[in-house]
Structure formats: structure tokens, C-alpha cells
Chains A and B, each alone.
Chain A
Amino acid sequence: MSLNAETAAETAGLRRSIDLSRPIFGLLALALCVLVILPIFWLAVYSLQNDAGEWTFENFVILATDPTILRAFGLALLMALGVGILATAIAAPMAWLAARTDLPCRSGVRILVTASFVTPPFLGAIAWEILAAPNSGIINGIYRWLFGLEADAYFVNIYSFPGLIFAIACYTFPYVFTLVANALERVPSDLEDASAILGASQLTTLRKIVLPMVMPAMLAGSLIAVLQALTMFGTPAILALPAGFHVITTKIWSLFQFPPQPGLAAAAALPLLLITVILLRGQKWFLGRKGYTVIGGKSGSARITNLGVWKWPAFAFVAFILSLAVVFPYAALLKAAVTTNIGEPLSFASLTWQNFNFVFFEFDATRLAIWNTLVLGISTACIVTILVVVISYLVVRKSFPGSSILGFLATAPVAIPGIVLGVGLFLSYANPVLMLYGTLWILLIAFITIEMPAGYQQISSSLSGMHPEVEEASRILGASRLTTLRRITAPLLKTSVIAAWCFVFIGTIRELSATILLTIANTKLVSVIIYDLNESGNLGAIAVLGLTLLVVSFAVVIIAHRVPLIARG
């Protein structure tokens, strides 16, 4: 009958539940597998082969018996632990002061913390060489001058194990700071009121209520600091070598020197991977057992504690920390940038533009490197942002069973240290079949992989805070999935999208561990140039480049916050 025919015709307009999201899911899953699993696969294969290509446990035997490698592992773990403790010890009180007290200049504090965050750690390490090398360091010079001491007396020595921990902590504490400050802002003040009404003093409330509430954030921050330190290459390469020891990343790097031992390097990389995974699991377990999260209360803004007489001592503490992390190092770099010989005292006559001239006009590699850095930074930031928005969308909106696998894959690279990824990518993409080594593509792949977890965390958490009905309201009014994503979801996520974008961009500028293994002359990045310049001791040029990086990073962050994502919101 006619009804049947009509029904059949109409059925054509129906969409099978297999819509576009399924092929997208498939593609994404495949891409993420390639990004994450391929390098690790090759690492495993290489670690199990000897020079002749035969299967063997030789490399692991060497790994387990070579005292220099074991020592490097031990020192790396100790160093990472030290960084975690130091970073938390300075960042947590600072975060509380900045978020919950009437500390003077609180926005200034945040700007300086941001400056510390955008500072590549290796640049900070170089600045600290200028400041705290035992003999030529400015601080030690002042110390000797103040106390009229012998030429070889020194106050601080950056070329030492504690010096190394300090120099890394200076540029990893912002992770703890940001997480704790955000958590503190979300502790609803009525929870504190509830404690106060029961007779608890401010200090007791802080200790018994606020601290436990921000504990997960603090632990998460400390863990990030530990992981960053454990997997960091630049700072140890600059400070540990003069101090006469290796950590695991510099050891792996040295295994790539002639004659290269990629098998052993791969084998040495795997335990590092394992340690990272264990640390991440440990955090999950710990947080899971405690089982509390900071619940976003409606109850207004966080309560501000009046510091009273402690106001200025607290300010001095914060100012001191920020001077160490940002003000002094950049002052030192500035001095290095405008003088020929940093060892000379600063005078008007010794001022020179020579370093700027050299970096921007004589030194051939700079412009290419700045260009490469910007191109890679911006494209990585854009690609990662788009990827994580789509992935978060599929995962958070549970578009179909199994979509949570994407979330897992997107977070997995957090467990892969940069240098390990560098080795893995080199093994994966430097073969006749797939020859990406030597191009910017391999760096792009590396950066996307490295930066994806941070971006994903950011976007997925704000997406899960967004009610799906907000999107459905748009669908039912006649907007397609894509239109909705463009006109509703994306604008609503704008702040987190921009934040994620900036985070990724800054991350690529800071990156050195994977980069150092993957660049060639044409694909140099500023980070590598700085590392190279440091190797040949050109402090002036490093300082100029470092300051340029700071300016560019800040400019990009500011512009990113200004550019409206969607023309009409």
C-alpha cells in the first residue's frame, strides 16, 4: 500500500546510529595508537636486539650491572624527589598567600609565576650559572666582596646536586602553585564557616579543613614536578656535567654519542618509562583511596584571610622566591645580553649591542630557528587543541561504547619522558619506509604526543562541567552536530580552549629532551640553538635569545587571549 512505500522512502532520511562520529573515532584511535604505541614498540624491539640484530637480553644485563647507569638512575630519582619536595614546600604556601590572603601585589605574584612557567628550564639553568657559579657567579662575587673573602671562597655552588635540584624547582613550582591556587579558590567558604562556628581557630581551620581539601591538588602538582624533574634533560646537561655526575636522561644522551649504542639507550629508557607509570598509578591509588575531591560550591568567593602583622614578612617570602626564580635570572640574562664579557662589572662604557647584532643579523641559524619554533609551536598548539576538543567531546559525551579508550590514549603520553619519546620516534621514523627524521614533521609528531595529555586534561574537565542539555537545546532547534560544536560548545569552552592552546604553545617552547635528538640543521629550534650556544659558551647570544623567547611567549599568550575564537559569539 502507499503507506508502505512512503515509509520506505522516509526511511532513507533516517540516519543509522552509525554516524560521522564512528569513522572519526576510528581515525582518532588509529592516530593515537600510532603516536603513542609505535615509539614504545620500537624501543622495546631495539632494547632486545644486539648490534647484529639478534634477539638478546644483553642490553638489560648491561643495564642491571653497569654501575654508571645504576648510579644515574639513583641520582635521577633522588633529584626528582628533592625537586618535588622543594617545589611543593615553596609553591603551596605561596599559592595560599596569593589565593586566600590580603597579600600585597597578588596579581603581580601571578604574573611572575607565569613568567617562571614560560621560562624554559634550561634557560633558567644557564641564568643560574651566571648567578651562582662558585667563582664567577655574581652572588658569590658579592658575597666575597661583602665579607672580604679569599678568591675561592663561595656561598652557593650551582654546579652541585642541591644546586641542580634548586634550579629545576625554580621552573617546576608553577605547576604546584597553579593547581593548589585553583583548588583553594574552589574551596567554598561555607565549609570554613562551618568549621569556624564549631569553634576552630583560623589556623586550625586551615590545617584541618582547607589543607585536606586541597591535598589532592597539591599531590597532583608535586607529582607533576617530580615527573618533570625525572624526565628533564636540559638542566642536568648544563649543571650536572660540570658537577661531575650523570642523571638518567644525560646518560641516555651520552649513549647516543659516537659510537652510538641505541639498543642500550632504548633499554635504559624503558625503566624510566616504568618508573613514570608507577608514579602515575601511585597517585591514582592514593587519591582513589582518599576519595575526596574539591566540590565546587555555589557559596560565593573564597574567604580572604587577613594576614595582619604577618603581611610584610609573607610578602618578603614571596618576593624572595620570585626573585630567585624570575627576577634575578632575567636580570643576569639582561646583563649578559648587553655586555661583552659577563665577568666584568656592569658599567655604562661596557654596554654593547653586539650580542643582539650577532644573534639577529650575523648568526645565520637564529632567524630560521625562531621561525621554526613559532611555526611548530603554533601548529602544535592548534592541532592539539582541535584534537583534544574532539576527543574530549567523544569521551565526555560518551558518544558510543569504547570512546573512553580515546581518553586513555590521549593521556598515556604523560608516562613517556621526552628523551624516551625522542629515542622511540627516532627509531620509528628514521627508516627507509617512513623517513620523517630531518623534517619538521617528526618534531610536530613529537610535540603533539608530548603536549596532548595536558591539553586533554584541560578541555575534558571543563567539558564535563558543561551540561549536555546545553548542546541538545541547540540540536533540537535545528542545528547540526557541527554547527552546535561551532556555535555553542566551542564558544562556551573558549576560556579553557585558549588556556589549553597557550599551555601547549609554551610547552613546545620549553621542550628540549625530545627535540635534541630529532633536529638537524634545517629544523633547528631556539631551544636547541640555546643548548648549542651553551655548549660553546656564548652566554651573550644565549641571553639575547632567552629574552626573545620570553618576550615572544608573553606576546603570544597575550594575543591568544585577545583573539576571539568565533566571530560572533
Chain B
Amino acid sequence: MAFLELANLTKRYGAAVVVNGVNLAIDQGKLVCLLGPSGCGKTTTLRLIAGFAVPDGGEIRVGSRVISKAGAAKPPERRNMSMIFQSYALWPHMTVFENVAYGLRLRRLAEADITKQVGAILDVTKLGALAQRYPGELSGGQQQRVSLARALVVKPQILLLDEPLSNLDANLREEIRFEIRSLHDQYRYTTVYVTHDQTEAMTTADVIVVMNQGAIDQIGSPEDIYKRPLSEFVARFIGGTNIFRGANAGNDHVSADGVVLQCGSGEFGPSGETAVSIRHHDVKLSETQPDFTSNVASAMVERQIYLGSHRDYLVRLQTGATVRVVSDVAVDIPAGRQVWLYFPPEHCRALAR
């Protein structure tokens, strides 16, 4: 049975439904990413789990015990969770050591134990030398590590992270991302990680939960989400993609924008309207007409950008619709040239939603 369960969880602010009937089961020791665009309700979901917000409907259970339900919530301090905040939320009036020791002091540990455990976690997070500094005297990355250490040292049942990397520059982001993942591998706390960055989600998560407008769109492993999106939203949000919308022509074929596309996977919409997704780098570009009957279209190169490892094309179909193609650097076709596009069926995914 799942360790952390959200059942039909709902939260309203005034008339706006910010979290809308979320169902989610997380197994013990898993790192789950809540991924979605800004304002989709990720933070709110996290705050519901932490107990900072009280749900308007549904339940939250930990180990099958209810900790939150409509109108009632166990206060955050009694949930044995830890949270890492977007702003780090370090206490400026305490040293690094005191910040980290705070949770242990609340648990009334002996001072010797506190010194030992804090020392250990500071070493793990490479902060040992900075123990007596104040947060104001640390760099952004160091501050984030303090916040990690502070959250981990209390051995929480559940660890919550709210966009922990968004205030860091690109290099640090990568470094801390791997650090978080390796710390998770080391301690195996059940973790909920909120982010709007798909790379972050892909590289850290066991399971990704894609949220859209307060509801869960899709749950799955990073590969699932990337390769087998169930909705146009997920396909667009995770990795770049081209979407064709058209009528179901039967036999796994969809006709859209003057192209007939045979789809290798996916589900077709019941009404006949179906979207087809094909990733930028899956589209094949050539100056000669490929000899396939379907999944082929002629187009004109609108612009081409050289990006070192690959080239990024924008091409325009006869119908006026545009398609983005990422190709090998060897394929070098200048703008204004007539080209042929081939959409391999195995990469064409039909999306019912």
C-alpha cells in the first residue's frame, strides 16, 4: 500500500479551485516530482501536504492515517515532515549550526547528540567549515545546502521541496540537483519535489506527476511521460513537440494540415478530432522527396539556426502551418529552399486529449 496518499484533494481560494480533485499515491522511499507551469497549484498541493493549508475536500493520508481532510488538518509541527523552501527561509539570526540544530533542539535531544548529528549532516552537505557563519555570509548555493541539511537532519518521514533550485544560477542548479538525488539515494526519504522545470524533474524523479490547472494530467516515470504523453498538454510541456490537429481518417491515420499521418502509438479521440504529436528531432528533413505514401509533406524553410550540436529549423507547410525540426548539423539547407518532411509513424503519437 502506498505510504502518502492524496485522495480527491481539493482546495479553493474564493471562487478559484486551485487544487481540483487530486488523487496520488506515493510509495515509501520514492522521489515524486510535481511538475507543471507556474500557477497550476503545485505549491498549494505541497502546502496541503505540509499542513500549512487546510483542504476544502478530500483527504491526505500517511501510512493510511488521515492527516488532513475537509476543514481539518493536523498542524505542520506534528507531521514529522521537512520542507525546503524556494526562498531557503534560513533564519538570519542563527548561525549555520544553530539553523541546522533547531529541529533537533525542538526534539529535545541531548546537546552531545545534536553536535554529532549536525556535524555529520554538515559534512555530507559540505558545510562543515561554515558551521559558525551566519546565513548572510553564505553564497546562494551554500544557503540552499544549509536548508537541505536543516531539513534532512531531523530524519523526516516525508521531505517536501518547493522549487529548491529556482534561485540558483545554471551551473549551481545542476550541481545541487545531483546532490539532492544522491542524498535521496542515500537516505531514501519519501520525497515530494515541486518544480516547473522538466529537466529538473526528469533528472531527479522516480515518478513525475504533471499538473495542469489544479488537476493531475499524467503520472508516470520520466520515460513514460516523455515517450508516451497522454495529452497534448503533457506532450507540449515535456520536451518540444509539434502538434497536428485533424480528423480521424481511420486505420490509425489522421489527416491534418493537408498531411495524412499514420500514428504508431497513442489513443484516438472518440469524436474523431485527434491531435498528433511528433517531437522536433523525430521529424526528418530532406531536399528530395522520400518515397512513402503517407506521413510526408512538402514545405519551405523559413529560417535555420546553427546550434553547434544540431540545427534548428522552422519550416512552413503549404497550408501555412509551421513545423519545428531539429536535425543533424550535416543537414544544411538555407532559408527559402523547398524541402520535404517525413514524420516516421513510430514517432507519431495520437493524443485523445
Contacts and interface: CB of A to CB of B under 8 A. Distances in A.
Nearest to A492: B93
A11 B106 CA distance: 25
B291 interface: no
B50 A472 contact: yes
Interface stretch (A24-32, A363-371, A455-463, A474-482): A474-482
A483 to B, nearest CB: 7
Contact of A476 (B71, B82, B107): B82
B48 interface: no
Given A483-B106, A569-B93, A469 B72 contact: no
Contact of A478 (B73, B94, B107): B107
A105 interface: no
A16 B54 CA distance: 9
A475 B75 contact: yes
B81 A476 contact: yes
A141 to B, nearest CB: 56
A472 B52 contact: yes
Nearest to A566: B93
B2 interface: no
Contacts of A6: 64-65
Contact of B83 (A13, A476, A488): A476
B89 A469 contact: yes
Contacts of A3: 64
B85 A477 contact: no
Interface string B49-77: 01110100000000011111101111111
B106 A479 contact: yes
B81 to A, nearest CB: 6
B102 A474 contact: yes
Nearest to B86: A469
Interface string B93-135: 1100000001100110000000000000000000000000000
Contact of B52 (A15, A475, A480): A475
Contacts of B81: 476
Nearest to A487: B102
B80 to A, nearest CB: 8
Given A474-B102, A478-B106, A13 B85 contact: no
Contacts of B54: 17
A492 B107 CA distance: 22
A472 B74 contact: no
A480 B85 contact: no
Contact of B87 (A16, A469, A475, A478): A469
B50 A476 contact: yes
B79 interface: yes
Contacts of B151: 477
A432 B68 CA distance: 52
Nearest to A471: B89
Nearest to B106: A478
Interface in B215-273: none
B19 to A, nearest CB: 16
Contacts of A10: 65-67
A1 to B, nearest CB: 12
B135 to A, nearest CB: 11
A11 B72 contact: yes
Contacts of B334: none
A480 B77 contact: yes
B178 interface: no
Contact of A475 (B77, B90, B94, B147): B77
Contact of A470 (B64, B72, B76, B89): B89
A467 interface: yes
B13 to A, nearest CB: 11
Interface residues of A, number: 31
A186 to B, nearest CB: 18
B86 A7 contact: no
B187 interface: no
A200 interface: no
B86 to A, nearest CB: 7
A16 B72 contact: yes
* Chain A at the B interface: SS class: helix
Contacts of A11: 66, 69, 72
B92 interface: yes
A14 B76 contact: no
A168 B83 CA distance: 54
B224 to A, nearest CB: 31
A489 to B, nearest CB: 10
Given A469-B86, A469-B87, A492-B92, A477 B72 contact: no
Contact of B85 (A7, A17, A19, A469): A469
Contacts of B86: 469
Nearest to A475: B76
Given A14-B66, A478-B77, A473 B89 contact: yes
B150 interface: yes
Interface string A487-503: 11001101000000000
Nearest to B103: A477
Interface in B34-56: 50-52, 54
Contacts of A478: 77-78, 80, 103, 106-107, 154
B143 to A, nearest CB: 12
Nearest to B81: A476
Nearest to A8: B66
A506 B50 CA distance: 43
Contacts of B65: 6-7, 10
A472 B73 contact: no
A7 B66 contact: yes
Contacts of A7: 65-66
A320 to B, nearest CB: 41
Given A470-B89, A477-B103, A13 B79 contact: no
Contacts of A473: 83, 85, 89-91, 147, 150
B66 A477 contact: no
Q: Across chains A and B, which 10 residue pairs bring their CB atoms closest together, nearest first?
A: A477-B103, A469-B89, A473-B89, A14-B72, A469-B85, A475-B76, A17-B54, A478-B106, A476-B83, A10-B65
Interface of B: 50-52, 54, 64-69, 71-83, 85-87, 89-94, 102-103, 106-107, 147, 150-151, 154, 160
Interface of A: 3, 6-7, 10-11, 13-17, 19, 467, 469-470, 472-481, 483, 487-488, 491-492, 494, 569
Given A472-B52, A477-B106, 18 more contacts: A6-B64, A6-B65, A13-B74, A14-B73, A14-B74, A15-B75, A16-B71, A17-B54, A17-B72, A467-B87, A467-B89, A473-B83, A475-B52, A476-B79, A476-B81, A491-B93, A492-B91, A569-B94
15 contacts: A10-B66, A13-B78, A14-B66, A17-B72, A17-B73, A19-B75, A472-B52, A473-B89, A474-B91, A474-B102, A475-B76, A476-B52, A477-B154, A478-B80, A487-B102
